[in-house]
């Protein structure tokens, strides 16, 4: 019986570590995509404003893109037009931030479950030691 509890605890910890790793990888992917897009702005002909903003499929009709703004949580790049409107550049895929949120929530839930299980096992060990 003790081995089964240890195996479950190990599985929970391992799954929590995997979920945390997935969260880190997804966040770094978003940062890399945003970083590469922003790094292109400073070099080359016709690099300002950001070409991902100028040619975005969701850009307002007839709008002149003035600048961009990088947001880190959730990871995305907003484009600002001369009349003050903002829209998403589409540099970061639309699935990335929801996947990041799910993996973060899974990390928290699995880490909490592993902590509770470890606490219960320690309490059970203490109770059996007293007997």
Tokens 């909490």 belong to residue: 112
Higher per-residue pLDDT: 82 or 131: 82
Are 85 and 63 in contact by the 8 Å Cβ rule? The answer is yes
**Exposed e or buried b for every residue in 16-33, given b needs 16+ CB within 10 A?**
beebbebbeebbebbeeb
Q: What is the DSSP secondary-structure string of 100-116?
A: HHHHHHHHHHHHHHHHH
Higher per-residue pLDDT: 76 or 57: 76
Mind listing the pLDDT tens digit for each residue in 11-54? 999 999 999 999 999 999 999 999 999 888 766 555 578 888 88
Mind listing the pLDDT tens digit for each residue in 93-124? 999 999 999 999 999 999 999 999 988 888 88
Say what the pLDDT of residue 85 is.
92
pTM of this structure: 0.83
Say what the pLDDT of residue 103 is.
98
Q: Is pLDDT of 1 > 50? A: no
């Amino acid at each position: 019986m003790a081995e089964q509890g240890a195996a479950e605890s190990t599985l929970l910890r391992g799954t929590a570590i995997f979920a945390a790793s997935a969260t880190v990888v997804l966040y770094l992917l978003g940062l890399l995509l945003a970083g590469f897009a922003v790094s292109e702005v400073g070099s080359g002909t016709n690099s300002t404003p950001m070409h991902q903003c100028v040619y975005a499929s969701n850009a307002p009709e007839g709008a002149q893109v003035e600048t961009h703004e990088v947001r880190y949580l959730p990871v995305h790049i907003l484009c600002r037009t001369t009349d003050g409107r903002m829209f998403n550049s589409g540099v970061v895929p639309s699935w990335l931030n929801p996947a990041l949120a799910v993996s973060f929530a899974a990390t928290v839930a699995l880490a909490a479950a592993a902590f509770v299980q470890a606490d219960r096992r320690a309490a059970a060990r203490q109770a059996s030691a007293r007997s």
